[in-house]
Amino acid sequence: MSLHFKKGTMPNTDHTYLYKFNFDATELELCSLEVKCLFDASLVEKHLFSEIEVDPSQSAFIKSRLKTTFSSTSFDSLLNEIKNQNIHAELFKVEYLVFKGDETPNQERLQKLRDIGYSIEGLHEYYQPTITYGLCYCDGLWYFGALLKDSLDWHKHQQKPHSFSNSIGVNMAKSLVNIAAQNNKGASLLDACCGMGTIMLEACFSGNTIEGCEINHKTYVRAKANLAHFQYTSTIHHKDVKELNKKYDAAIIDLPYNLFTLATNEEVAHIIQSTSRLADRLVIVSISDISIIINQVGFQVMASCMVRKKGKTKFARRIWVCERRK
């Protein structure tokens, strides 16, 4: 269940999280689709209240997750509540999160952080805290609780040993995994045209179960090398996807479209048809309209979005979220 609170209302904060997002104009549709699949919610602003727990490092767009343990219409009331709880934490840190509509001056923000810091028993540690707390003013309420930020560890994948010049970016790869798995770490995923393994790297990092399939031998070898470089263990099948017989909960298809692996309409239809046998949910990336093919294999489009490349307004990828027609 997902929640979005109107200004001035008091949410049930027992299991509610406040997520902060960041993205540019070219990623708005992609982020919105990811939020729909992760939280079953619509992203109105660059923040979201939800009872669903997601690690910020799982997404390229989620910057932080605040557990809203305490909330109040006034900061003084919030501070008194924190004092009454006699919180003890060794090596803690308190950060201020800025959301749209918060016009609190910087000096006042710093003073509020000091006030809360003095209300917590224990040693303050700025650089290597064992726990980080967050304070913010959002939609008319003050919030305080445990804060988890994007670790940025996944950025290391941008330095993988092998890559295509026209491969999808890391941000999109992370979103494709989230859109396919829908925050279900137990879901089995297939990357039907895994290429250099960009999508597989993000799935492995987030703890998803994924296998890949790659027909080109040289690309297959390099994909295995990329996974091994980051010490990920995941199966890559060196074969045509039509030769696979295993069932998966969802499959991701990044259709070949660059200068070196341009696929014909027949090859695109073959890939989608072959993969449609293996999963009831498909997430497909294309640069052309493939809705007719999707319909022909017995699937229906549940959602789609367009992602344009920065600085290249004429080049765009479309993501199709499809499910088997019942």
Q: Are residues 37 and 158 in the same domain?
A: no
Q: Are residues 93 and 50 in the same domain?
A: yes
* Helix (H) or strand (E) segment spanning residue 181: helix 170-181
User: 95 is in which domain, residue-wise?
Assistant: 2-149
pLDDT value of residue 166:
75
Q: Are residues 183 and 142 in the same domain?
A: no
3-state DSSP: the chain helix, strand, coil percent, rounded to 5?
A: 30, 30, 40
CA distance 274 to 280: 12
* Tokens of residue 285, six digits: 């990336």
Please indicate, yes or no, whether the overall pTM of this predicted structure exceeds 0.85: yes
User: Given the structure tokens 């003073």, which residue do they identify?
Assistant: 111
pLDDT tens for each residue of 120-149: 999 999 999 999 999 999 999 999 999 999
pLDDT value of residue 15:
58
Q: What is the CATH number of the domain that holds 63?
A: 3.30.2130
pLDDT tens for each residue of 30-75: 999 999 999 999 998 999 999 999 999 999 999 999 999 999 999 9
Maximum separation of any 2 CA atoms in the chain, in Å: 68
Q: Are residues 14 and 78 in the same domain?
A: yes
pLDDT value of residue 260:
44
Mean pLDDT, all residues of the chain: 92
pLDDT value of residue 262:
54
Mean pLDDT value of segment 6-35 = 77
Residue 298, pLDDT > 90, answer yes
pLDDT value of residue 3:
29
CA distance 284 to 296: 15
